Structure 1
Amino acid sequence: MTAAGQDIQVVVFGLGEEEFGLPVTSVREILDHRPAYRVPDAPSWFLGLTDVRGLSVPMVDLRARMGMMQSEPTVATRILVVDLPGRGSEPLSLGLVVDRVLDVSTFAADSVEASPGIGGRWQSSQIEAILRRGADFVALLNVARLFGAGDDGDDIIASFAMAA
């Protein structure tokens, strides 16, 4: 979350009709969509590997990972390359496939609210905060929690590190 009283700069993107965000500091780059090299027996949300500047980067369908219906890529589909803390000194890079990137916005500290713990489609632990944009909301995701321990207790991040 943001330090108390500080503004936060966020990459805002859409999945379906909903808007989500990631701190600018966690997004390394934004790429046009491209097909992934499929990996056998992978979960449905794990699309495979893609090359990013000579590195094999696991590519994830963020819609599917968050329990939303999958959709076919469009001309607006993008890949957000994010860096997660890895097991050691090297971060783990992931390519998150999103429907569209809307903008980079700065949210004032007074527009940042704690994530409500009411359940629903997304676990509140995966949402770092709710950002107010006029009458609308942007859910600030915590990608490290989203790709932490899976339902069966497996460490998803460790699995990605082995696949890459």
Structure 2
Amino acid sequence: MAEEMKVIVFTLAHEEYGIEVDKVRTIERMVPITRVPKTPAFVKGVINLRGVVIPVIDLRGRFGLVESEYTENSRIIIVAANDLEVGFIVDSANDVIDVMSDAIENPPEVVGGIKAKYISGVAKISESRLLILLHLAEVLNRSEIIQLEQFGD
């Protein structure tokens, strides 16, 4: 029996991606980001969200894609992984959809220039629409989480 999974759909460089709804805390418009020295280039800094300091990562930079100017459609998706809240900057966050587990296939080696380790699967939504599902544990791998946790204290 195929299970249904709710997924937040967002775009990066004209590709559609998904993160499971239960991993997403909130989706915010772009706010001023305070730069933090000695962090990887894709770590844009931290934001103060309702009194909580949250590190922010530009997913384009994380995936080795060309970073672009932020627009009024740009969003920060706040996700929770391993007791850590992190903001992902994305080009836009579009909608929430249901994905059936039997529509998800294992990822190929590279999708849209992104290494397979960052992808948990590819969901076939329709004949012409594929959704790349993020593997949050890899997007925020151990050594980077340790670096980011220092900002949360």
TM category, shorter? over 0.9
Shift of 1:120: 7.1
Shift of 1:52: 1.4
1:122 lines up with 2:114 in the alignment: yes
Q: Residues 42 and 118 from structure 1, CA distance in 2 versus in 1: closer, same or farther, beyond 3 angstroms? A: closer
Can you give the 5+ residue segments of structure 2 that lack an aligned partner in the other structure?
A: none
Q: Distance in 1 between matches of 2:123 and 2:137?
A: 19
Aligned length: 151
Alignment partner, residue 125 of structure 2: 133
Alignment partner, residue 24 of structure 1: 21
Deviates further, 73-82 or 135-144: 135-144
Alignment partner, residue 152 of structure 1: none
Alignment partner, residue 140 of structure 2: 147
Q: Distance in 2 between matches of 1:118 and 1:44?
A: 22
Partner amino acid for 1:37?
Answer: T
Q: Residues 118 and 76 from structure 1, CA distance in 2 versus in 1: closer, same or farther, beyond 3 angstroms? A: closer
Alignment partner, residue 106 of structure 1: 98
Alignment partner, residue 75 of structure 2: 78
Partner amino acid for 2:146?
Answer: A
Q: CA RMSD in A?
A: 1.5
1:93 lines up with 2:90 in the alignment: no
**Cα deviations by residue, 1:17-62 (Å, 9 ceiling, x for unpaired):** 1111100000000001112111112211011010112110001111
Partner amino acid for 1:19?
Answer: E
* Secondary structure of residue in 1 paired with 2:56: strand
TM-score (norm 1): 0.87
Alignment partner, residue 88 of structure 1: none
Q: Distance in 2 between matches of 1:145 and 1:123?
A: 10
TM-score (norm 2): 0.93
Shift of 1:123: 1.9
Superposition misfits of 4+ residues, deviation over 3 angstroms: 117-120
Deviates further, 74-83 or 113-122: 113-122
Alignment partner, residue 31 of structure 2: 34
Shift of 1:119: 7.4
Aligned residues: percent identity? 30
